[in-house]
């Protein structure tokens, strides 16, 4: 078992971002709470096995994502597509006039995305994870992360603005 002081600090430091990630995946408060709580329960049982304490964030997000996938395994079938095979299909998104979106609008639009795109978009924009961190958390290749992120952002842009895709998105123009 992880000692109580470390566990308390871990919960204080990571509860909110884990809950936000869980909510972006589950689209349901109760399920997001359950996923977050389950993640900390697993940490209490197995956290002591983590040798590199600098990877706590990645471990927690990966564990939460695995729990989400386990609950949805029968419903979700993720298609693996290498980015080099679909590069021409990727949308190009122009800078949007969406700089003043509120969180509720963004979460509502994110909830409308296909589940395959929700996790990469939520991790990238809401949790400020790098492509490599997202690939680790979702356990998919880096090219798949980039492809899903680009497509997800294109669809999110369309949902938020009603415009069709035109140029590639960045953190600054969504």
CATH of residue 45's domain is: 1.10.1740.10
Residuewise pLDDT in 10s, the chain (174 residues): 444 448 888 899 999 999 999 999 988 899 999 999 999 999 999 888 888 888 899 999 999 999 998 877 745 454 556 667 766 766 655 555 445 456 777 788 888 888 889 889 888 877 888 888 899 989 899 889 999 998 998 888 888 887 765 544 555 545
At residue 63, the pLDDT reads 93
Altogether, the residues listed in the chain come to a count of 174
Q: In 3D, which of 173, 76, 67, 54 has the Cα closest to residue 125?
A: 173
Tell me if 77 is assigned to some domain.
Answer: no
Do 96 and 167 lie in a common domain? yes
Q: Do 25 and 58 fall into the same domain?
A: yes
Where are any strands of DSSP class E within the chain? none
Q: What is the pLDDT of residue 60?
A: 94
Neighbours of 47 (CB within 10 A): 20
Residue 163's CATH number = 1.10.10.10
């Amino acid at each position: 078992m992880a000692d109580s002081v470390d566990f308390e600090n871990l919960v204080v430091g990571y509860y909110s971002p884990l809950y936000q990630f869980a909510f972006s995946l589950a689209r349901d408060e109760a399920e997001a709470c359950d996923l977050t709580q389950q993640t900390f329960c697993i940490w209490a049982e197995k956290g002591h096995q983590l040798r590199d304490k600098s990877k706590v964030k990645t471990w927690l997000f990966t564990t939460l994502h695995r729990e989400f996938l386990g609950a949805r395994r029968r419903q979700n079938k993720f298609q693996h597509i290498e980015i080099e095979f679909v590069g021409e299909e990727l949308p190009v998104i122009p800078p949007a006039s969406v700089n003043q979106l509120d969180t509720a609008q963004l979460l509502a639009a994110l909830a409308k995305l296909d589940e395959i795109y929700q996790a990469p978009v939520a991790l990238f924009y809401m949790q400020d994870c790098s492509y490599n961190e997202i690939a680790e958390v979702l356990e998919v290749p880096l090219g798949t992360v980039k492809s899903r992120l680009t497509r997800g952002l294109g669809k999110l842009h369309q949902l938020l603005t009603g415009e069709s895709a035109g140029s590639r998105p960045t953190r600054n123009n969504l």
